[in-house]
Structures are given as structure tokens and as C-alpha cells.
Structure 1
Amino acid sequence: MTQFLTLQGRRALITGGTSGAGAATVALFKQLGAHVLTTARTKPASFSGAAFVEADLTKKAGVDAVVDAVQREFGGLDILVNVLGGSSAPSGGFVALSDAEWEKEFELNFFPAVRLDRALIPGMIAQGSGVVIHVTSIQRILPLYQATTGYASAKGALNTYSKSLSKEVSPKGVRVVRVSPGWIADPGANGLALRVAEEAGIHYDEAVQTIMNALGGIPLGRPARPGEVADLIAFLASDRASSITGTEHVIDGGTVPTA
């Protein structure tokens, strides 16, 4: 008999859970029966349905606050999903990236996952089970040099770190997998398009097409939707994927031209 997808009773932390793929993942995990804690710098007025802690995960104090909340709410963790990420770096290629810009890209896109893993995975090892999902990006192999060199580099580091982590903790019962989206079509995830439109003095739709062209096109004909990314994350977090670890799962509409 086919087992229905369920996360019933699982304790899950999902970072970046107030917009885009993160918000879609929070909603789906709740629907599938998980107990969910999520986090962002500020709690939107309309947010409801999951435990929430306001924290800046680019700071050690923010990570500590989230770890404390996990222990307070759940007493441990079964699933850790690191969706947090993004970029505010200016366009202009490598010369536009100061040391401060490089630091911001890694503090947002790499170190939160590393710090949360270091704090929370030991508890998973102690209980003999757990799933860690790091949301990386196809930008690690298709960087847009005008604007995403720092972001792509940080996601590349997260990808390599995740593979190494999987080798260490999978024998101890903790699966580590990566979800690597292409461009996600969502107002909360389209900061790059807005910046391109503003800087180039073009309409938003033209900026969208410009980015798609820079990526070499999307064979499927459209970017991914937040809910589609959430579906993949939920499957990988579930017992339906119990033999999957150490792997990267691309969801990009065929954007990457080679396997």
C-alpha cells in the first residue's frame, strides 16, 4: 500500500518562514501535521499558524535565541530546514563587492545554517534520528556575475559544507540533503528583479525577462513557484525519503543545461 506523505508529530524548525518558499514550507508542514517553529527578523502582522521567534540569524545572539526557542517549545528537533537566504549586494561585478558586502553575503547565506547545525544536530544524533535540509541555489553553478557573485559563492560554500556534513552525520541517523532552486516567482523572492528594473530604468517585466535571458532561459517556460519548492522539501523531510541523504535536488525548470 502506498504511504501517504505525512509529517505528523514531527518537530520542525524552518528559517526564513515569512515569505516565498519559506512561508510555503511552513504552511505545508503544518498541513502535514508537523509542529513548526519559524523565524525572521520581524513578525509580519498577518502571520499566524506556527510558533515564531523574532531573531536576526546573521548574529550569534539571534541564533542563540532560536536555539533557546526550540528547546523551550519542543525540547528537541526532528527536522531543520534552512531556507534563509538572499542578497542585497550591488550590481557592477566583482569590483563593486567590498569586504563588507562579502561579509554580508556569507553572514546571511552560509553562517546561519552552520551555527544552527552546530547547536541542534547533536540533539538529533543523541536521539538517533533527524533530517537537515539546506536550501542552496543553482547560482552556485550559474552565477550572474553582474549581481550575484557573492551570493553564489556563499551558496557554493553551503553546498560543499552540506555534503561534508552528510558524510559525518548520516551514519549516526541524521540525513542531510540539499534543495537547489532556480529562480522562484514570488514577490518576496524577487528583490533581484526589482533592483535590476530600478538600476536599468526598465519595467519590472522587462527585468524578469532580462534575468531569464541571463540564466540562458528556463526550458519549462516559467520560474518555480514557492509551493513547488515546499512540496520537494516536505517529501525529502518525510519517511518517504528515508534512504536519501548527501544529495542535491535541483528544482529549476531545466535552467541548468547539464546534469
Structure 2
Amino acid sequence: MNKTLLGKVALVTGGTKGIGKSIADKLQALGANVIVAARTKPQENLDDRHFIAADLLDSESGENIAKEVIEKYGKINIIVNNAGANLSPSGGYSTLNDEHWKNELELNLMSAIRINKAFLPAMIDSRNGVIINISTGVAKQPLWDLTMAYSTAKAALNMYSKALANEIGSKGVRVNVVSPGMVNTPLMADFIENIATSNKTTKEQVAENLINQVGIPLNRMAETEEVANLVAFLVSDDAKYINGANYLIDGGSLPTV
């Protein structure tokens, strides 16, 4: 494999499992020095990656992570704001209280804003940087009964990303969004299992129903490595003229072009 990211320093938030782990694996395979930030360190070997324990709901987390990374590596080239989750109960507006809305916005929007703000001075000084904010297809096509607050927070992330790309593109820093659809992750597995338990049905039936509800022409969920491959392209020099874009990777489920 070509070491196209050799010498680059990359941060992946939520980089210990699911999509984040696959992104971290891919960037490291391409030669980058990879730092992962998450609440808890996993039991398995991180292949000598620099791990930072951080609760991204903490308003000081961005500054703390940036300080540690810049002190150790002296620079940052790539940020992948992957940390995020649908934390709220299903059922639509009546099931959502202020705490649900606050938690969704903090994790899915504000965590990325804080990380980027803390690192951007170093990126702008070097006129070299790429930021990828991981969003979701349901920010464009929300499932009101399942993802109302989550979709709203990610839609705000999309708008923020475009505004930031417009502001700092001339300063040597690119910003893009990757929006996965349904992905085969541990979080998705838990989500499906919870629905199956509540509805007294099988996980396979729930997964099939969700795929049909979302309407995925490829008739399957994405694998995490497929999302990682797209991110790896966007942070590379092969994508150096791509800025302010939002790439859907959803198997064709969004019914518009």
C-alpha cells in the first residue's frame, strides 16, 4: 500500500471502534501518525497509536486534546471529527425533552466545533490541513420517529462545515463532510437489538425492515472500511481541490440527486 500520508499527523475522534476505528486503521496504513480520542481506552491493542482519553461533552476537551497533540507532534494535518451518536429515544417530538436535545447538539455538533477551533490556528499557520466532519444521511432525510434530534444536530454540522470551508479555504485548510447511511457498526447492532427486544422480533427482521424503510437500493448496510476508504481519499492530495463538499455514502438511499 502506498504511504501517501507519510509524515502526516491525524486525529480521529471516537477512533476506537466502528467507523472511527476503521478510519484510524486506514490512515495509519497510509503512513500517518494517528491519534485517537475517546472516553475510554479499549481493551484491544491500539497498534501503538497515541490515545487521549477525553469526554467530548466537556467544553474544555478540544483545548486539552489540541494542547497534548501539538506539544507531542508540533503540528496537526488531518482532523476527522467522527465522534457522534443518536442518543435519544424513538417516538418523535413528544418523547424528546430538553436534555435529549442538549446532548445531541453537544456530541454531534459542538464537539466538532470545539476540536476544530482549538486546532485551526496551527493548521492556518502552516497553511496545511484537512478537516473531515462525519455527518449522516438522515441529516438530509430524517426519520422523525427514530432520529429527529440527531438529524437536526447533524444538519447543523453540515451547515457549519460549509461555512467553515468558505472561511478558511483561502488559508490552506480544506473542510469536507462525509455522510454515511446505515453502517454495520457496534452502535447499529445495539440499536437493532434494542428494537428487536422491544418488538419481540428477531434482529434479522429488524435489520431487513430498517433497510426497507430507509430504502437502500444496494439492499445492505455499508461496512466501516467502505466509509474509511472515502475519508482516506478526501484527506489525500488526490482531493486537494475538493472543499466544502458533502459526500453521501448510503448505497443510494437518498431519493434525490
Given the two structures, how large is their TM-score scaled by the length of structure 1?
A: 0.95
Tell me what 1:135 maps to.
Answer: 134
**2:181 partner letter:** G
3-state DSSP of counterpart to 1:21:
helix
Secondary structure of 1:17's partner?
coil
**1:179-258 alignment, distance < 5 Å:** 179-215=178-214, 217-258=215-256
Q: Give the match for residue 161 of structure 1.
A: 160
**Number of matched residues?**
256
1:150 to partner: Cα distance? 0.5
Mapped to 2, the partners of 1:15 and 1:32 lie a distance apart of 18
Secondary structure, in 3 states, of the residue corresponding to 2:144?
Answer: coil
Secondary structure at the aligned position of 1:184 is classed as coil
Counterpart of 1:134, as a letter, is: N
User: Aligned partners of 1:239, 1:181: CA distance in 2, in Å?
Assistant: 22
Deviations 1:180-220 (A, max 9, x none): 100101224433222322222221111112211221x2111
Aligned partner of residue 147 in structure 1, secondary structure: helix
Counterpart position of 1:67 = 66
Give deviations 1:217-242, integer Å, cap 9, x for gaps. Answer: 21112111100000000000000111
| Residues 63 and 14 of structure 1: CA distance in aligned 2, closer, same or farther (over 3 Å) | same
Q: Does 2:183 align with 1:176?
A: no
User: Given residue 165 of structure 2, which amino acid in structure 1 is its aligned partner?
Assistant: S
**CA-based RMSD:** 1.4
Gaps of 5+ in 1: none
Note the 1:35-54 alignment, pairs <5 A. Answer: 35-49=33-47, 50-54=49-53
Q: Determine helix, strand or coil for the equivalent of 2:201.
A: coil
Contact 2:162 2:244 in 1 (8 A): yes
Code of the aligned partner of 1:32:
L
Task: Report the CA distance between 1:257 and its aligned residue.
Answer: 1.1
Q: Distance in 2 between matches of 1:55 and 1:133?
A: 19
Q: Structure 2: any 5+ residue segments left out of the alignment?
A: none
Opposite residue 244 of structure 1, the aligned amino acid is I
Q: What's the CA shift string for 1:123-147, capped at 9, x where partnerless?
A: 1111111000001110111211112
Q: Distance in 2 between matches of 1:193 and 1:160?
A: 29
The range that moved more, 192-201 or 30-39, is 192-201
**TM-score, normalising length from structure 2?**
0.96
Contact 1:20 1:189 in 2 (8 A): no
Q: For 2:112, what is the secondary structure of its paired residue?
A: helix
Moved over 4 A (4+): none
* DSSP-derived class of the 2:232 partner: helix
AA aligned to 1:103 is K
1:93-138 Cα shifts (integer Å, max 9, x gaps): 1100000000011111000100011111121111111000001110
CA contact (8 A) 1:178 1:247 kept: yes
In 2, the alpha carbon distance for the partners of 1:191 and 1:169 equals: 38
* Partner secondary structure for residue 229 of structure 1: helix
Other structure's SS at 2:219 match: coil
Distance 2:3 2:142 in 1: 34
2:104 maps to a residue whose letter is E
Looking at structure 2, the residues matched to 53 and 61 of structure 1 have their Cα atoms a distance apart, in angstroms, of 14
Amino acid at match of 1:24: S
Q: Which residue of 2 aligns with 1:105?
A: 104
Q: Which moved more, 1:47-56 or 1:131-140?
A: 47-56
Alignment match, 2:32: 34
Structure 1 residue aligned with 2:16: 18
The sequence identity of aligned pairs, in percent, is 39
Aligned 8 A contact 2:3 2:31 in 1: no
